[in-house]
Structures are given as C-alpha cells and as structure tokens.
Structure 1
Amino acid sequence: MKKGWILSCVMSSLISSAIAQQPALDDYSFTTADPVVGTLVGLKKAKLSGPQAKLFGINGKQQVYFKGKTADQDWYDLTVEGTGPAGKVSATFRVVQDRFNRNGVIAHRGAWKNTGASQNSIASLREAAKLGCFGSEFDVHMTADSGLIVSHDHMHDGVNLETASRSELAALRLKNGETLPSLEEYLTEGMKQQKTRLVLEIKSSKISKERSLKLTEKVIAKVRELKAQGWVDYIAFDFDVCKKVKELDPFAKVAYLNGDKTPEQLAAAGIDGFDYHFSVLKKNEGWIPEAHERKLTVNIWTVNDPELMKGFLAQKADYITTDEPEKLFALKSEK
C-alpha cells in the first residue's frame, strides 16, 4: 500500500513537471487597439507556424504581436515551435479578442434561479451569457475513472461523483433534462462567445488531498488541450490547489475561497485574489481595501440580498457572485 502511494506521488510529480514545462503566453487575449498579444515563455528560438502565422511576429522581448493592423476577429490559433527545457517542442494557443464584460457580475452556478435552467447546466451558462454577466461560475469534480464532470454537490441523485464512473453518471439527468456536462462540453460551449468568462471551481476531494491535486492537473491539461486559457479563471477552497494552479500555469488567474487567509498571506503565495463568503468580509472589514492596496482581486459570494449588494458595491468589490444576477444588474443600473 505504501509503495503504491509513493509510486502514485512520483507519477503525479512527473505529470506536474511535464505540464508546467509546456510553453505559455502571459496573456491569451488581444484588443484591436494594441498590436501586442502576450509574451512567450518557456521557449528559445521560437518561431510561428500554421495558416495564421503570417499575421504575427515575435520580437526581441519574446512578445507575440500583430504585424499589421489588428483584425476584428473573434480569435486566432497560433502554433509556436522552439526549444524548451526538455528539447524541441511545439504548442498551439488560441488568442481571443477581449470583448469580455467589465460589470463584475458573476452568476453562481450559471443563471438558473430566475430562468428555469438547472444549476451548472449548459443552459444556465447560456443564460448567464445572455444576461451579459462578467462570469459564469461552475464546479468540477473527478470521477472514479478520472473523468471531469461539472456539478456542485458531491452526490447527485444518490450517486457519489467521485466513486462513480463516467458511464454511470451519463445515465443521470439534471432537472431540465440535461445530462451532467463534462468539463470539455462546458468549456466548448463557453468558448462560442467572448463576453462572459468561465469561472472554474476545482472541487476539493472528499477522498484525499492527492485526488484534489490530480484533479487540478487534469483540469489544467484539459483547458490547455481545448486552448481555453483566454476564457478561464480559477477558484478553489483548497489553498494547495490554488498554489498548484499557479505552479502549472503561472499566468492563470486564481482566487482562494475558504476565507482563512489574509490579503498579506495571499499576496505572499502569489495568489491573484480572494473570493470569500460575505460573512468573512463583514468580520474583516479592512480586508477589501488591503486587498486592493496589494493589487489583489476581491470577489464575494453568494450575495443575494440587495442591501448586501449595495454595501459591497460601495466598498468597490471587483466582483460579486450571486444566484440572482438580475438583481445585481438592476442595482448597478440605478447608479
């Protein structure tokens, strides 16, 4: 048993190292006003290839840039080849035009409460995008056979998501008749638009810390496989998971959920911000201004009371996560 655990840890470390050594951009979005897309890291002697390579160049600062006028296109796929720590390597990135909403409204498990959609469904994602939310929050678990499933609770219709297989879960239905989406299905749907970001919660395993970290590795790998980096932000209750995200993708945006770390501790760990329950911020009123002073993002969940919404808007919270984004939009329109 101990040998098996050690082998598993070694394999996980090797997988993590392989993921972390992949080439990356420090930004996967562009605007028509700025020719620079992002800075390429993890490669030497880099060159672009593929059908859209002629539109871009790489300057002496390793910045990928548009050679001519930036076209008004939704996204481009860029293939980069070069030499990395493990030798010759290539990677394809999707850079998306930054049309994302800036209203700070995040639909908790999608927009479901007033729309008839099920929580964490493809329909609730579509409704959040239709409303114009900054983000649609959703939760990801790992099945017994390492599948990635979108659902909030660890149990669905009496079935434990962590101990069931993908085929077993395929038979289950949400209240609106949908199946439980896979992470790939959810991301693929979200990438059809460029207005609403995908706020991905990596759920803590109830079985072991090891499974939480393995889930993190698989999530990061799937986001890379689908070239979804330009759409996805991460959140997690497990501080080690947050740090693992930054290890695997240093330029990913990740916020901590559990409420037991000060802004100083988050900044020291390289975490981008906090996403705390409103009760935590009522007890620690100085944390919002301190977070802003430290250039951390402030997100607050799950705020459904209009009076609480008003208070956190007055405190300049960057984001508010709510089951009722319609209420928050109505308050913001009154300002």
Structure 2
Amino acid sequence: MTAPAPSRPRPAHPFFDHPAPLAFAHRGGAAAGLENTRAAFARAVELGYRYIETDVHATADGHLVAFHDATLDRVTDGSGPIAALPWAEVRRVRVGGTEPVPLFAELLRAFPGVRWNVDVKSDAALVPLLEAVDTAGAWDRVCVGAFGESRVARARALAGARLATSLGTRGVLGLRLRSWRLPGPAVRGALCAQVPVRHGGIRVVDRAFVRHAHARGLQVHVWTVNDAERMRALLDLGVDGIMTDHIETLRTVLAERGAWA
C-alpha cells in the first residue's frame, strides 16, 4: 500500500509552484545519451517533464553553455577546457557526434514552460547566468545550486529574493547535523536541500533529515536516483523531488502512485 502523502513545505517562490513530488530530468535524462543537449531536453518535455536539471560553464569569451564537465573530452568530438575556448570553437563540437552544445539563453527561449535547476560549475559562469535569467525574465523558473557555499551565497547577494537557491555543501552538513540534534554550520538563505542519498559512508537522506528540513520550510530533492525501488522508498520518506537519468522509470513510479503531474 502506498504511504499517505505527507505534508510538504511550499517555499514562497514560484519555482516551487507545482504539485510535489517534483520530477527532475537530470541533464535532460542522461541515460538515453546526448546529455545536456536540446534533443535530450525536448525528449524530457515530450514525456511530460516540467523540471529539468542542467549545468552551466562559461566559455573564454563569456558565453554561457549547458554542459556538465569542465572539458569537452568525455561526451563530445572536441577536446579542451571550456573556460579556455571561445564560443566560436565550442559551437562546432558535437555531443555524441551529433548534437551541438546549447547556449543556456537559447534553452530559456526554446522551452518557456520548463523550470530549470541549474548547477553553476564555475565562478565565471555565475554572472552570465544571472544576466541570461534577467534578460529572459525567467526568475520564476530557475533555481540555482552549487557545491560551493560561497558561490550560492554570491548568487543570492546579486539576485536577491527573486532567485531560488538550494543549499551548498556546508548548509547540507549543517542540516544533517542538526537533524541529529548536534551543533553544525548555519542553515540559511536557501529554499531547498538538493542531496544524494549517501555521501561516502554517511547516510544523508532519512526520515529525520526530511522532517528537520520540512520543519525549516525546506524542500528535499534527491539526486541522482535511477532505481525504481529506491525511488519508492524515498517517496515514502516524504522527499519533495527526485532527479533521475532514467526519466521513463521515474515517470512510471510516480504514475503508479497517482503523483505524475
């Protein structure tokens, strides 16, 4: 029997104005290949996804691209660090030999119904990201995260309350420790905690963690979950969102629970 739907926080930002649990297509659904490409994002949207996770880097001349790695080598037919290459070179490479690397500003225009969860991979990418969001008037459909607490704090300082952000690593540590009733770093400013199930040998997401986050008004989004049974277990704990490479699997799990929105 499916567990009853728990009471969930609804942060006061339009990014979260959608029935939970939220389904995030991680890199557009990386399991199908062609991650972080317009083709991958279009496929996720066709399947019904309205939340997409992506990553951004800045080229040497300041163009903001949706791309996970610092270098082109792993997934494209090109090579070299993105930060050292001009856009004129990056635009010529192909992911999987077929798909161009997209500009994030173009994605905002191409998919106006999509909300973007953006992992800012470098300090140089932060200001171009905020400029792209501002130009598109897309503050209501972007949430920014980064592993570095200082990068997330700078995003909040530059954009203010119009930008939704997730906790950085230090904030997540504070949330985990305080859920155990131990002293820890301050937990402030963000609207959600985006976390793995485990980090090293430490369990991050359990019932105590979810309850403590909810008591603070924070949603809990878990990455990157590709197994159906683990998805079900996390949903039973009351998590507010799941990020997955296997977008058909997550859609099936949510649909069988009457939670595919």
TM-based fold match above 0.5: yes
Higher RCO (C-alpha under 8 Å, 6+ residues apart):
2
Instruction: Give 1:261's match in structure 2, choosing from 152, 173, 187.
Output: 173
Give me the whole-angstrom Cα distance separating, in 2, the residues matched to 1:141 and 1:198. 15
Of 184, 201, 214, the residue aligned with 2:119 is 201
Partner of 2:5: none
Task: Report the structure number with the largest CA radius of gyration.
Answer: 1
Change (3 A) 1:332 1:284: closer
Number of matched pairs: 228
Code of the aligned partner of 1:253: A
Aligned residue for 2:143? 233
Q: Which has the higher strand share?
A: 1
Structure 1 unpaired stretches of 5+: 1-25, 30-97, 206-211
Task: Find 1:309's aligned residue among 227, 231, 238.
Answer: 231
User: Equivalent residue for 2:212?
Assistant: 290
TM-score by length of 2: 0.79
Counterpart-to-counterpart distance in 1, 2:165 and 2:57:
17
Contact residue 112 and residue 127 of structure 1 kept, 8 A: no
Partner residue of 1:178 out of 99, 108, 111: 99
Offset at 1:307?
A: 1.9
Q: Secondary structure at the match of 1:126?
A: helix
Quick one: structure 1 residues 283 and 188, their matched pair in 2 at CA, closer, same or farther if it must change by over 3 Å? closer
For residues 300 and 287 of structure 1, the distance between their equivalents in structure 2, rounded to whole angstroms, comes to 12
Q: For each residue in 1:138-170, what CA deviation from the matched residue of structure 2 results, as whole angstroms up to 9, or x when unmatched?
A: 110011222211111111132211111111112
CA 1:262–1:134: 2 relative to 1, 3 Å:
farther
Distance 1:306 1:235 in 2: 25
When residues 28 and 270 of structure 1 are mapped into structure 2, their CA distance, relative to the original with a 3 A threshold, is closer
Superposed displacement of residue 119, structure 1: 0.3
- 1:232-258 deviations in Å (ceiling 9; x for gaps): 121211111111121122221111353
Q: Does 1:279 align with 2:198?
A: yes
For 2:185 and 2:204, how far apart are their aligned partners in 1?
A: 18
Q: Report if the CA contact (8 A) 2:13-2:140 is conserved.
A: yes
Instruction: Look up the equivalent residue of 1:161 and give its one-letter code.
Output: I
Pairing partner for 2:110 from 150, 175, 189: 189
Specify whether residues 230 and 284 from structure 1 end up closer, same or farther in structure 2 by C-alpha distance, changes over 3 A only. Answer: closer
Determine helix, strand or coil for the equivalent of 1:261: helix
Query: Percent identical across equivalent pairs?
Result: 25
Deviation for aligned residue 1:334: 2.2
| Contact kept? 2:194, 2:222, Cα under 8 Å | yes
Q: Does 1:105 align with 2:23?
A: yes
Q: Shift in Å at residue 304 of structure 1?
A: 0.6
| 2: CA distance, partners of 1:133 / 1:284 | 24
Equivalent residues in 2 for 1:1-335, closer than 5 Å: 102-114=20-32, 118-157=34-73, 158-175=79-96, 177-191=98-112, 194=113, 196-203=114-121, 205=122, 212=123, 214-251=124-161, 252-256=163-167, 258=169, 260-263=172-175, 268-280=187-199, 282-283=203-204, 285=206, 286-335=208-257
CA RMSD of aligned residues (A): 2.4
1:52 alignment partner in structure 2: none
How far residue 113 of structure 1 moved from its aligned partner, in angstroms, is 2.3
Q: 1:48 corresponds to which residue?
A: none
Contact 2:174 2:187 in 1 (8 A): no
Comparing 320-329 with 282-291, greater Cα deviation is found at 282-291
1:127 CA displacement: 1.4
Distance (whole Å) between structure 2 residues aligned to residue 172 and residue 134 of structure 1: 28
**Of Structure 1 and Structure 2, which has the larger fraction of its residues in helix?**
2
Distance 1:267 1:323 in 2: 31
The structural deviation recorded for 1:137 is: 0.6
**Equivalent-residue separation in structure 1 for 2:238 and 2:101 (angstroms):** 35
